[in-house]
Amino acid sequence: MKGKLLVIGFGPGSFEHITQRAREAIQESDMIIGYKTYVELIQGLLTNQQIISTGMTEEVSRAQEAVKQAEAGKTVAVISSGDAGVYGMAGLVYEVLIEKGWKKETGVELEVIPGISAINSCASLLGAPVMHDACTISLSDHLTPWELIERRIEAAAQADFVVAFYNPKSGRRTRQIVEAQRILLKYRSPDTPVGLVKSAYRDREEVVMTNLKDMLNHEIGMLTTVVVGNSSTFFYDDLMITPRGYQRKYTLNQTEQPLRPHQRLRKEAEPWALDQEETVKQTASAIEAVQNTREEKATSRALAEEALQAILGETTSAVVHQPIQSIFEVAVSPGLANKKFTPVQMTTLAEVVGEKGTMEYTPDHQIKLQIPTAQPDVIIKKLQAASFLLSPVGDVFTIKACDFCDGEKSDAIPHTEELQKRLGGMDMPKELKLGINGCGMACYGAVQEDIGIVYRKGAFDLFLGAKTVGRNAHSGQIVAEGIAADDIVEIVENIIHEYKEKGHPNERFHKFFKRVKNVYGFDYQDITPKIKVEPAPCGD
């Protein structure tokens, strides 16, 4: 039985602005998947649906879980505030499906249900600021390189668009809105009207009218949408108004239009209108002449002028290419047991990372590389030629083995290598680390990982559910001693597959173990230290 995906935009958050179809879709669903705050906003519409809620920046894992549950036959609602197709979940869900080879005719059914986007809801509270050409730009560089965002702001500023900034600022991201203001001030008057709307149509709604030079004097956060007017936007009676752009065609305070609709585009009525072919050509030629005197630059102005010329038929191509640079991420180590880098390996790292990449040592006995490149295969070949062990980065299975006393206590090494061969780099609901120590000293702290195995007296002890971070961190629960060496790989493999299959997105293994109470026959026991610890600000 095929399931169904309902990708729902529920608007700004108030019940009266949720469409009837969105309400019906929520009621039809077996499961609701969404960001915690969004789930809370629609709580009054929920009945007995299963809820999976996750935190900020975890959109990809939500999309993956939704597809997984729909493929298992469930009707799954993936919720977004605003419109699901505007910085929402619709695109990510499609990307996950496409990666799995989904087809409309044979795959799970998918319906995208539109909602009121922030640019619309916020504009209604400000007045009518989006009455002419406008654009939306997200200032979050979580999934988009900041250099590309900068170029888009520059192009929008030059072209005199009304601009709505989404995700302008967060606790960690503070400079982006400052940079956006700096770019806009190059092309806009400091007195350009700006509207700041926080939590539109929600309980803590705030609306502020300000201007471009003073906008940063007011509170701006993740729940704020920043609407910057164009050169003709004005304030009137505490409202922000952008003219429709037809003042050249009829006078606003006249009851009759001086020009009828079919007359407006005549050359004598509007010299700037559609039939001014010769003037347009002369203008394009002038732009081209100026450009030919400059050095070739990949600036936003050059791109915008090229696009204008293409539209006017003065160039051979009508496509503007935005050079988007991919960042290749990979973790490298000398090996599972080997902790010693060679000079050749260090030289190779310096070569492949270059001036623009980064390398960061991690607590997992690996170096994480971030390399701007469009040719990851070339990087991989160079690293493999230097005898590096390569691992993916993110929510994957990782082995943290000891050095087995520089190989002197080697009995557990074959089992370690077999586990790496079978499971290394496997996608998980949340990053999962298996600690392996080659003797009872456990000096590399295997018992402090999500899963730990310690080789002792020719057999393995198994530890599950360590809480690896936080002030109330603790070792794993010992669930078995003396597991035969021939059995350990299969047991660990089954535990990991069970977690992969039943774990919720972003659910750490110790929380999963606590929730399900039994993993592959091993019962959960609460061994959390009985001490009073003030909750951390992140809510962990």
| Residue showing tokens 């943290």 | 400
Query: Is the pLDDT assigned to residue 308 strictly greater than 80?
Result: no
Of residues 271 and 93, more confidently modeled = 93
Whole-Å CA distances, 186 to 153, 261, 440: 11, 37, 66
Average pLDDT over residues 201-228: 95
Identify the pLDDT of residue 531: 72
Q: Please, which pLDDT band fits residue 253 given cuts at 50, 70 and 90? A: very low
d(CA 460, CA 492) in angstroms, rounded, equals 11
Q: Nearest 5 degrees, angle CA 218-CA 220-CA 226?
A: 100
State which H helix or E strand residue 280 sits in. helix 277-292
Q: Please, which pLDDT band fits residue 144 given cuts at 50, 70 and 90? A: confident
Q: 45-91 pLDDT, tens per residue?
A: 999 999 999 887 788 889 999 999 999 999 999 999 999 999 999 99
Q: φ and ψ at 231, to 5 degrees?
A: -70, -15
Average pLDDT over residues 8-15: 93
Which segments of 48-135 does DSSP mark as H helices, in order?
59-71, 90-99, 118-126
Identify the pLDDT of residue 297: 43
The one-letter amino acid code at 222 reads M
Q: Which residues pair with 241 in a beta bridge?
A: 128, 234
d(CA 428, CA 416) in angstroms, rounded, equals 19
Q: 447-502 pLDDT, tens per residue?
A: 999 999 999 999 999 999 999 988 889 999 999 999 999 999 999 999 999 999 99
485-502 and 509-516 helices cross at what angle (nearest 10)? 80
Listing DSSP states for 364-418 in one string gives TS-EEEEEE-S-HHHHHHHHHHTTPEEE--SSBEEEEE--TTTTTS-TTHHHHHH
State which H helix or E strand residue 7 sits in. strand 4-9
Strands 224-228 and 162-166, bridge-based pairing: antiparallel
d(CA 328, CA 376) in angstroms, rounded, equals 6
Enter the tokens of residue 503.
């774990």
Query: Is the pLDDT assigned to residue 110 strictly greater than 80?
Result: yes
Judge whether 82 and 22 are in contact, CB under 8 Å.
no
CB within 8 Å of 234: residues ≥ 6 apart = 193, 240, 241
Counting Cα atoms < 13 Å in the Cβ hemisphere of 440 gives 6
Identify the pLDDT of residue 214: 97
Identify the pLDDT of residue 347: 97
d(CA 181, CA 64) in angstroms, rounded, equals 36
State which H helix or E strand residue 496 sits in. helix 485-502
Q: 1-11 pLDDT, tens per residue?
A: 789 999 999 99
Which segments of 208-364 does DSSP mark as H helices, in order?
277-292, 300-311, 343-353
- pTM for this model (two decimals): 0.64
Q: Which residues pair with 437 in a beta bridge?
A: 454
When the pLDDT of each residue in the chain is averaged and rounded to a whole number, the result is: 86
**Cβ-count burial 129-138 (b if 16+ within 10 Å, e if not):** bbbbebbbbb
Enter the tokens of residue 149.
């965002």
d(CA 535, CA 453) in angstroms, rounded, equals 30
d(CA 496, CA 309) in angstroms, rounded, equals 58
User: pLDDT exceeding 90 applies to what percent of the chain?
Assistant: 72
DSSP tag of 217: G
Least confident of 95-99, 231-235, 468-472: 468-472
Identify the pLDDT of residue 269: 41
State which H helix or E strand residue 8 sits in. strand 4-9
Q: Which residues pair with 6 in a beta bridge?
A: 77, 111
d(CA 122, CA 197) in angstroms, rounded, equals 6
Judge whether 316 and 351 are in contact, CB under 8 Å.
no
Judge whether 111 and 4 are in contact, CB under 8 Å.
yes
Query: Is the pLDDT assigned to residue 355 strictly greater than 60?
Result: yes
d(CA 182, CA 442) in angstroms, rounded, equals 55
Counting Cα atoms < 13 Å in the Cβ hemisphere of 484 gives 3
Q: Please, which pLDDT band fits residue 362 given cuts at 50, 70 and 90? A: very high
Highest-confidence range of 228-232, 278-282, 343-347, by mean pLDDT?
343-347
CB within 8 Å of 407: residues ≥ 6 apart = 337, 413
d(CA 127, CA 539) in angstroms, rounded, equals 38
d(CA 91, CA 112) in angstroms, rounded, equals 10
Query: Is the pLDDT assigned to residue 290 strictly greater than 50?
Result: no
d(CA 153, CA 132) in angstroms, rounded, equals 17
d(CA 399, CA 417) in angstroms, rounded, equals 10
d(CA 81, CA 63) in angstroms, rounded, equals 15
Listing DSSP states for 457-488 in one string gives TTEEEEEE--B-SSTT-BPPEEEEEEEEHHHH
Beta strands in 67-176 (DSSP E): 75-80, 109-113, 127-128, 134-138, 162-166
Q: 37-46 pLDDT, tens per residue?
A: 899 999 999 9
